[in-house]
Every structure is written in C-alpha cells, then in structure tokens.
C-alpha cells in the first residue's frame, strides 16, 4: 500500500513535465550543437585517453584525469548494480532502452554542464579552481534572471538531501548480509568506517583514491559481466527484442514480476539513467571544473566519456546479465537480484564477486559525493574562510555517518529496499529541475564557447566579450 502511494508521488515528480524538461534540454542542446557528442565521439575518447603532448606536461594531464576519475567513480555506485536491477524489477526490460536514450542525449547535457562550469569558475588566492552549477547560475543566469538565487538554493537543497538518503551504505550492508548471513548493520558499519578512512584525508586523498580505483573496479566488473553474458549468448537476440518491445508496450506479469506499463518503464528508465550517469543533475561539474585545462570544451569532452562509461557500459552490463539469465522476473530486486543473475555464470563465486565490486563502487561513490557537497559549502561560504573550513571538517564526519544512520533505520524498521530507491527519485528531481533551467538559459553561451573552441584555435577569448557575443 505504501509502495503504491510512493510510486504515485514519484510518478507526479518524475512525470511528463520533468522528463520532458530533462530530455528536451538534451535534445535542444543536440540540435543547436549539431549533435556535437556524436560528431566528436571518437575525438573525445582520443583526447581523454590518448592525449597528445602538445602544450601539456604529464602533471597537467594527470590533473584532468584525476578530476574526471573522481566524477566517474562518484557516478558508478549502487545505482549501477542494485539500482539497475531494481529498476528492471519495477519497470520491466524496457527500462534498459530508456536508459540508453537518456545516456545518448545526456552526453551533450553533461558536456554542457562541465564546459559552463569551467568557463564560469573562480580561482582563489591559492590558485585553486572552484566551479559548478552554482557558479554559472550566479555569473551566467544572474545576468539574465535576478531570481538566480532561487535556483541556487533549490539546487543546493536537492544535492545535500542526498546525504539523508545515502543508498550506498545500506546496499553494501545488504550484499554483505546476503553473503555472510549476518545482520546488514554490521556490513554497513564496516563500509562507513572505510569511507571515513578515505574522506578524513580530505579532497587530495579522495581524488588520488578515485584515480586508482575507477579503472580497476570498472575493468573487473566488465570482464566478469561479459563472461556471464557470453555463456548465455543464445538468449541475447531474444533479450534485445524484449528490451525494445517492452520500451513501447506494457510488460505482462510473469513469474515474480507483477507487470508494468509503458509509462512506468519510461519514467523508471529515465530516472534511473539520470541517477547512474548524473547528466543534468549538476554533480560532476563541481569536481570536473577544478582541473587544469586550456579550454572549457577540453574538460567538457570528459563528460561525454563519463556518461558513456557509466550507463552505456557498466549499467548495460548489469541489465543484460539480469535479462539474459532470466532472473529479472524472479521477484527479487536490488543487489540480491544481481547476485542471483551472476550466479548463472559464476556459481558460488557470484555473491563474493558482487559483494567486492559493489563495495568498491559504493566506496568511491561516497567519497566522490563528499566532494560534491563540499563544493556546495565552498560556494556558500566562499567569503567566510573560517566558517568554510569548519563546515568542511564537520562534513567529513557526517557524510558516512548519515549513510550509516539510514542503514540502521532501514534495518530496525524493516523498510523495504524499494522505498529507499523511491526516495532517491525524490532527491534527484529538484537539482535536475533547477540545473536544466540554468542550462537552457545559458545554451547560447555554451554554443559560443564551443564555436570559440572549434574556430578560434583554442584561444579561449570568449569571456571578455561574453554578453555582446551571446546576445547579438
């Protein structure tokens, strides 16, 4: 009964207006940029992973990589394993199709976010860069809309409220409990302690940690996921057909699956796609904008790569494993469903594998989200250094602490996992709404920056004549 009520609320929040705004923003950016993310798709990967040495030394490139690794590591978490499985269990196989749509469109959205964040960022007295949606809301939207502070406050509330949901801690506890048979609280407690180990070292330790862990955990998951899909290769054609068909027609009840409407599948796919790649959410730019670069578009290309890795690769691996093994209709959800699916290829090793990978994914996600919330604090108290430092110290303790508290409440009150993921839907809607409005208002500036990159030989001379160039 409660699940049905929460689903109705989520359907209103993630209804046609917000879905239309999210997709519409991406589609609009696609057209005005002449589908930049597809025209320069190969170039983006070459630039990010096979950079030339022109005008760049090793440390310069490494700085960009670390910033992007932190953003990618923060995106790849519980949503890519337990979240994708729960989405399919709720909305059916068609969810995967809409996640693909969200990712393909979201690549340009993420690129625009990062590009604008680098363009409007600030540099403090120590030479450190700070940027993100709050900065382009203030400096960019503020030129056109006096009420920019409303957008900024709502965006900040939405991002910070993620602390009070914290799906990673209880998801890891669930996986460890499934493996060991112990109370999930113990696994969540161990996870929280390990998060403190990283976060208490500050931003430098978080960034260095993410740079090492991101390629390791992604490669590990990719290899074993492809193995399970490969040994079930005979089911791949039917699975692809099922995904496409279910995206446009209702999915009938089968096994433990209760059935789904097309709208539920679309909404769940778009919402969970956003959660996994965070395109339009405005989180990634807060760390990406701290990197050194010659031009905003250079860092923006990392956004294209980030969305492709998180959704088109990692989430697709999870979804296909769940679908080709037939476990999607078992009635299970979350990490438990993913474990059961991987067991079809990995046998008794599956629970250990998912537990390890999930722990790594969520570990880096929690560390990454610390940097996002830290970015909110740095903006709010940028003129009050002492208060900013005090708030940053407090944040190091409360980020893992809230996750542990939520995990304990879920266990004590015996709250179903479905409730928790529905709460994630609520917390992701507010920053998405405000950020997309800001992106639309600054879309001409984004195109001018892209034109400057492509036509002015990376001179980055736009800032001095921003208003004149955009308004003409």
Cβ contacts of 293 within 8 Å, gap of 6 or more: 64, 118, 299
Q: Is the pLDDT of residue 391 over 80?
A: yes
What is the average per-residue pLDDT within 256-263? Answer: 80
Could you give the angle at the alpha carbon of 363 between the alpha carbons of 388 and 267, nearest 5°? 95
- The pLDDT score that the predictor gives to residue 415 is 61
What is the average per-residue pLDDT within 184-196? Answer: 88
Which has more confidence, 383 or 100? 100
Which has more confidence, 9 or 304? 304
- The pLDDT score that the predictor gives to residue 281 is 87
- Tens-digit pLDDT profile for residues 316-329: 999 999 999 998 88
- The pLDDT score that the predictor gives to residue 437 is 94
- The pLDDT score that the predictor gives to residue 241 is 94
- The pLDDT score that the predictor gives to residue 420 is 62
- The pLDDT score that the predictor gives to residue 264 is 85
Q: What is the average pLDDT value for the chain, to the nearest integer?
A: 82
- Per-residue confidence band for 469, with pLDDT thresholds at 50, 70 and 90: very low
- Tens-digit pLDDT profile for residues 421-468: 666 667 778 888 999 999 999 999 999 999 888 875 444 455 543 444
- Tens-digit pLDDT profile for residues 362-371: 888 888 888 8
Q: Is the pLDDT of residue 381 over 60?
A: yes
Could you give the angle at the alpha carbon of 95 between the alpha carbons of 97 and 411, nearest 5°? 150
- The pLDDT score that the predictor gives to residue 470 is 43
- Tens-digit pLDDT profile for residues 97-137: 999 999 999 999 999 999 999 999 988 777 788 889 999 99
Which has more confidence, 94 or 291? 94
Token digits of residue 157: 């509330």
Instruction: Quote the CA–CA distance of 129 and 19 in Å, as a whole number.
Output: 33
- The pLDDT score that the predictor gives to residue 408 is 80
Q: Tell me what percent of the residues of the chain surpass a pLDDT of 70.
A: 87
Q: Is the pLDDT of residue 53 over 90?
A: no
What is the average per-residue pLDDT within 59-69? Answer: 59
Q: Tell me what percent of the residues of the chain surpass a pLDDT of 90.
A: 28
Q: Is the pLDDT of residue 60 over 50?
A: no
Q: Could you tell me the CA-to-CA distances from 226 to 148, 223, 238 in Å, in that order?
A: 46, 5, 17
Q: Is the pLDDT of residue 6 over 80?
A: no
Q: Is the pLDDT of residue 204 over 80?
A: no
Q: Could you tell me the CA-to-CA distances from 114 to 52, 169, 420, 464 in Å, in that order?
A: 21, 28, 29, 20
- Per-residue confidence band for 278, with pLDDT thresholds at 50, 70 and 90: confident
- The pLDDT score that the predictor gives to residue 235 is 93
Which has more confidence, 383 or 282? 282
Highest mean pLDDT among 52-61, 237-246, 249-258, 275-284: 237-246
What is the average per-residue pLDDT within 402-420? Answer: 71
Instruction: Quote the CA–CA distance of 110 and 127 in Å, as a whole number.
Output: 25
- The pLDDT score that the predictor gives to residue 464 is 46
- The pLDDT score that the predictor gives to residue 117 is 94
- The pLDDT score that the predictor gives to residue 56 is 45
What is the average per-residue pLDDT within 59-87? Answer: 70
What is the average per-residue pLDDT within 280-305? Answer: 88
- Per-residue confidence band for 287, with pLDDT thresholds at 50, 70 and 90: confident
């Amino acid at each position: 009964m409660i699940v049905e009520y929460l689903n109705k609320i989520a359907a209103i929040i993630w209804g046609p207006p917000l879905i239309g705004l999210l997709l519409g923003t991406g589609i609009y950016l696609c057209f005005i940029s002449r589908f930049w993310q597809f025209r320069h798709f190969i170039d983006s990967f070459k630039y990010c992973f096979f950079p030339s040495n022109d005008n760049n030394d090793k440390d310069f490139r490494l700085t960009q990589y670390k910033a992007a690794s932190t953003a990618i590591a923060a995106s790849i978490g519980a949503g890519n394993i337990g979240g994708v499985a729960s989405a399919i269990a709720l909305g059916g196989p068609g969810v995967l199709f809409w996640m693909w749509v969200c990712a393909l469109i979201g690549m340009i959205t993420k690129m625009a976010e990062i590009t604008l964040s680098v363009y409007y960022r600030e540099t403090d007295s120590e030479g450190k860069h700070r940027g993100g949606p709050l900065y382009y809301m203030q400096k960019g939207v503020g030129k056109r809309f006096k009420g920019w502070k409303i957008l900024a406050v709502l965006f900040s509330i939405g991002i910070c409220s993620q602390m009070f949901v914290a799906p990673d801690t209880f998801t890891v506890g669930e996986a460890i409990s499934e493996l060991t048979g112990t109370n999930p609280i113990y696994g969540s407690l161990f996870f929280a302690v390990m998060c403190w180990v990283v976060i208490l070292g500050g931003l430098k330790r978080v960034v260095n940690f993410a740079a090492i862990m991101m390629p390791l955990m992604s490669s590990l998951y990719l290899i074993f996921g492809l193995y399970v899909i490969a040994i079930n290769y005979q089911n791949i054609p039917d699975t692809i057909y099922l995904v496409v068909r279910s995206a446009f027609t209702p999915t009938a009840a089968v096994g433990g699956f209760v059935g789904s409407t097309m709208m539920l599948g679309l909404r769940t796919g778009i919402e969970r796609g956003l959660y996994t790649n965070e395109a339009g959410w405005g989180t990634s730019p807060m760390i990406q904008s701290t990197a050194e670069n010659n031009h905003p578009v250079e860092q923006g290309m990392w956004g294209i790569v980030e969305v492709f890795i998180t959704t088109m690769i990692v989430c697709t691996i999870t979804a296909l494993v769940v679908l080709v093994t037939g476990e999607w209709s078992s009635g299970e959800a979350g990490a438990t469903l993913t474990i059961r699916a991987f067991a079809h290829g990995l046998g008794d090793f599956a629970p250990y594998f998912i537990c390890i990978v999930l722990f790594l994914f969520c570990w880096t996600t929690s560390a990454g989200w610390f940097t996002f919330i830290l970015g909110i604090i740095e903006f709010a108290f940028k003129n009050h250094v002492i208060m900013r430092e005090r708030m940053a110290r407090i944040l190091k303790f409360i980020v893992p602490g809230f996750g542990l508290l939520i995990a304990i409440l879920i266990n004590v009150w015996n709250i179903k996992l479905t409730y928790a993921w529905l709460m994630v839907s609520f917390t992701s809607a507010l920053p998405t709404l405000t950020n997309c409005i800001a992106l639309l208002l600054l879309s001409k500036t984004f195109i001018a920056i892209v034109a400057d990159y492509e036509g002015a030989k990376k001179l980055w001379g736009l800032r001095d004549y921003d208003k004149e160039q955009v308004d003409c």
